[in-house]
Each structure stands twice: as C-alpha cells, then as structure tokens.
Copies of this chain bind each other. A is one copy, B any other.
C-alpha cells in the first residue's frame, strides 16, 4: 500500500498508530505536508493484481518539438494504464530570445490545457528552461563532431526535468516527443518485465509496425563486444564515444536493432537510448541520472546505462517490442 499523504497532519492513511502523535485540532495553515515511505513505493509486484497501482512519471524533454505534439498526445491518451496513476512532465528548452513566442511552449500549453480540463492525470508539470543557443541547424544535429555538445545539453535538460518533476512515483518513462507509433499496451508490457531499466526497439517510421522487418533508428541500444572493449583500452579517460558514426569512429558494438526480432527474448544491454526508456524510480533515487561527464566513455542515456550497471542495476532491451520514430 502506498503510504503517501498530502494535506493536514496527521496523515490519514498511515496504518501504524505508533507513527502518529495523539490527535489534536487541525488548524488552517499553509504548510504542504507529505509523508512518503520509499520502501513501499519501491516494491512493484511482478504479478498482476497485487498492487493498488504503481505511479509513473512520463518525462518528455522538448526543443523545437511543436510539429510532433499533436501525434504525441494522441498516442499518449491511448496508453492502456490508469491516468490517475500517470504524472506527466515536460521541459521546454527555450532558445528564442522572446520566450513567450516559443511555438513549442505555446502549442504544448494548448494541449496541456485540454488534458487538465478533460482528463484525470495525477499531476502535470510544465517546465521552461533556457538552453544554450545551438550553433547548428536541425538537419546538422546528427553530425559526429556536434554530438558531444548536443548530447551534453540533452543530458542537462533531462536532469533538470528529473530533479524538478519526480516526486513519489515508482517508475519513470522517458518518452521522446518524436516517437510516432507504439502499442497502447507497451508501457504495461515493459512494466511487467519488472526490471530496473528496459527499452523497446526503436525503428524508423514507415517500417511495418508489429512486424519483424524494419529499418533501425535508435542505435544507442547496444551491447559491448570483445572488439569494442578492446578499442576502449586505448582511449583517453575523457574521450566520449557515439554510435552510428562508423566512418568517423567505429565502436564495433552490437546494436540491438540488428538482432533477430522474432524471438521473445530480453537481452542484456550496455548502452540505452532515451526514446521510450522505462526506469524504476529507485535507480534515479540512488543518484543515477544523465551524466554530462563520461562514465566508461559514455554520456547522457548511454552514460546512464553504464552508471546503472556499475551500481548493480539491470539494463535490458526487448528487440521484439517495436516502436517507431518519426
């Protein structure tokens, strides 16, 4: 049972009388009081029906994302999980001088306005934060030499979003705004795997969904190989590796997207992306977020995976569960 209470003290849903002081007159006051037992909210049963429901935070970082929001919210509302257990959080990285006309923020607020009025999510948080103006255009953003600064800025956005929006949730789903297709059951399927970190297989939009064929998009879900580990022995400590730049810097890793997708087998990953990444909140509460300094030569989502593994958490991929990126 969740031992969360908000509102006047003493809490009403704490079941052990020893924790309560004798009843006294509750005065009207301004203090927002919460009592949380992380031992209880950490325990998400792997079998169905044992829990009153695990709360989840769906976190989405946004920059120049206005065009994707319509589709994003359409897919979001189709998710087969009780809305009362879902908290939503968005961080809009405003780059325009005049933040008030940032079209992503305006469009986001229109969508959020409808959700707040017409649905029953647990909590919705909209955060704005100035981003360093990027020295590259949208179509340049995948260039190899731009990756370190781009991914560091992304990591900072994710960290600010996490630090501000996470409260007492059991899970965090990192959901990119430009994911255009996934099954309404995917979130529940991933939750029931009951592992610390898990990612589905992110293919390029236009691939045939729910089928085993399709063109890989997210190359950040990968497994180290003998060869990849050997090449890392010669690197400087602060050298950062990125996937998908074989001509600039081959890493010799096994990409999950290239594995056989026919079998329903979870694979152990060493790096993950952030397109649809489900993480137990206890991983983040242990201090693990999105590093901007390299951990084993990786930053951002891939650095998170390396960090989590060092701390004994499990990192997995489901090559057979397909999502589509725009």
The chain A residues found within 8 Å of chain B, CB to CB, are: 8-10, 16, 18-21, 24-27, 29-39, 84, 94, 99-101, 105-106, 109-110, 112-113, 115-130, 155-156, 159-160, 162-164, 166-168, 237, 281, 284-287, 289-293, 295, 307, 310-311
Contact = CB atoms under 8 A, between A and B. Distances in A.
A36 to B, nearest CB: 5
A39 B113 contact: no
Stoichiometry, copies per complex: 2
A38 B113 contact: no
A31 B162 contact: no
Given A39-B130, A128-B38, A287-B155, A166 B168 contact: no
Contacts of A116: 8-9, 29, 31, 33
A21 B123 contact: no
A180 to B, nearest CB: 24
14 contacts: A19-B106, A24-B113, A29-B117, A30-B84, A32-B123, A34-B124, A35-B127, A38-B127, A38-B130, A39-B99, A39-B129, A156-B287, A164-B168, A287-B291
B9 A113 contact: yes
Contacts of A34: 123-126
A54 to B, nearest CB: 16
A40 to B, nearest CB: 9
A10 to B, nearest CB: 7
Given A27-B117, A29-B117, A30-B84, 19 more contacts: A9-B116, A9-B117, A25-B117, A31-B115, A32-B123, A32-B124, A33-B123, A35-B126, A35-B127, A36-B128, A37-B129, A38-B128, A38-B129, A155-B287, A159-B286, A162-B163, A163-B281, A163-B285, A287-B289
A8 B31 CA distance: 19
Nearest to A162: B163
A209 to B, nearest CB: 31
A221 to B, nearest CB: 22
A20 B100 CA distance: 10
A286 B160 CA distance: 6
Contacts of A18: 100-101, 106
A33 B124 contact: yes
A251 to B, nearest CB: 21
Nearest to A25: B117
A30 B289 contact: no
A119 to B, nearest CB: 7
A105 to B, nearest CB: 7
Contacts of A126: 34-36
